[in-house]
């Protein structure tokens, strides 16, 4: 009897701060690789994480030249993400021309957002003709969290180089902080998050900044870096006694906690809170500060469990009404699984 050959998928994850490559087996185990060329003869398909699929892409799609051209047209909606993803896609298709390539979209998980959550209060034409709406991001990460922490009313804090907070009811996204682009929501490492729209209008109207300078400042010079003036790294800021570093961390925790409360309002309560991605998984002080502001939602940490937590771990105090979980982000597993389903392998 012939033994079935295991299908291995290379996952190309071009994020805002890094390029991660891993080979994911059918059992969900993954091995990091240094370059695409290292696995040229050892994979059966390639899954590409693409952050912004716009209104066009809500399901995984097999990549060809026409699809790649459509994806290029979306690059300006997520300049820190889609551009690097397409560049990596080019490299992978050139180095691995004999295997299928599948684009998997972060926005797809948020296709379940109700109209009250995705609609902006802007002219109707903007929404209907120009696609101005809330899309939501970090969908692969949030989907993994929803599968691992299967509670009816779940809030997922994906806190890394980019940060978002999402409300998940019975496994479906119902509200999220990121909007039309990954610039919206809570402050991030170098991105501003939500600000009064009059601010950029004023800066442009008064000719204090050109459009390109404004975009660069909001994407690369704001967030924790803009608040502290020295760094967008939580780890570095936590090691500093500078008042502006303290302010940056306080603003971050304040805004994340406020976002969790807003998501809980969308859910009608809170059964579990997940922290994932680089900051969420590794910063016990951030978790403690955020959770310390959420006691009214039944969130209470066990300080010792929080301090020693390594993903995956439960860190809520014994008997607390809401679970709190530190979870390792596994976007690669979700992307590989989606590619296999699309290709039926």
Catalytic residues: 106
Tokens of 31: 């091995």
Orientation angle between helical segments 65-73 and 82-95, nearest 10 degrees? 160
In this structure, how many other beta carbons lie within 10 angstroms of the beta carbon of residue 57? 19
Cα–Cα distance, 79 to 52 (Å, whole number): 10
CA pseudo-torsion sign 40, 43, 44, 48: negative
Which of 110, 144, 107, 142 is CA-nearest to residue 28? 144
Cα–Cα distance, 186 to 84 (Å, whole number): 23
Cα–Cα distance, 287 to 327 (Å, whole number): 12
Q: Identify the bridge partners of residue 46 per DSSP, sorted by sequence position.
A: 10, 101
Cα–Cα distance, 320 to 324 (Å, whole number): 9
Cα–Cα distance, 192 to 169 (Å, whole number): 28
Which stretches within the chain are classed as H helix?
65-73, 82-95, 115-118, 124-130, 139-148, 198-205, 211-220, 223-228, 234-238, 243-267, 277-282, 284-292, 303-308, 331-343
CB 186 within 8 A of CB 195: no
């Amino acid at each position: 009897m012939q033994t079935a050959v295991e299908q291995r998928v290379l996952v190309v994850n071009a994020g805002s701060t890094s390029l991660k490559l891993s080979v994911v087996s059918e059992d969900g185990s993954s091995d990091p690789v240094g370059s695409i060329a290292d696995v040229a003869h050892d994979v059966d398909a390639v899954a590409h994480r693409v952050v912004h699929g716009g209104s066009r892409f809500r399901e995984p799609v097999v990549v060809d030249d026409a699809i790649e051209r459509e994806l290029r047209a979306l690059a300006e909606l997520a300049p820190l993400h889609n551009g690097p993803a397409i560049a990596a896609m080019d490299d992978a298709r050139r180095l691995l021309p004999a295997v299928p390539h599948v684009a998997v979209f972060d926005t797809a998980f948020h296709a379940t957002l109700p109209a009250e959550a995705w609609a902006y209060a802007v002219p109707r034409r903007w929404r209907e003709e120009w696609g101005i709406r809330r899309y939501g991001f970090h969908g692969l990460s949030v989907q993994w969290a929803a599968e691992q922490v299967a509670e009816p009313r779940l809030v997922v804090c994906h806190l890394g180089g980019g940060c978002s907070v999402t409300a998940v009811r019975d496994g479906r996204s119902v509200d999220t902080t990121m909007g039309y682009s990954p610039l919206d929501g809570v402050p991030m490492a170098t991105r501003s998050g939500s600000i009064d729209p009059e601010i950029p209008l004023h800066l442009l109207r008064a000719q204090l900044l050109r459009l390109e300078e404004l975009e660069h400042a909001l994407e690369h010079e704001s967030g924790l870096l803009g608040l502290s003036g020295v760094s967008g790294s939580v780890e570095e800021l936590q090691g500093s006694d500078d008042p502006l570093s303290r302010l940056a961390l306080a603003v971050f925790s304040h805004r994340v906690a406020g976002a969790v409360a807003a998501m809980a309002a969308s859910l009608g309560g809170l059964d579990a809170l997940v922290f994932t991605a680089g900051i969420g998984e590794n910063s016990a002080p951030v978790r403690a500060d955020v959770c310390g502001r959420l006691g009214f939602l039944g969130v209470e940490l066990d300080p010792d469990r929080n301090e020693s937590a390594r993903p995956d771990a439960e860190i809520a105090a014994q008997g607390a009404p809401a679970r709190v979980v530190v979870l390792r982000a596994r976007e690669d597993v979700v992307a590989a699984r989606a590619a296999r389903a699309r290709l039926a392998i």
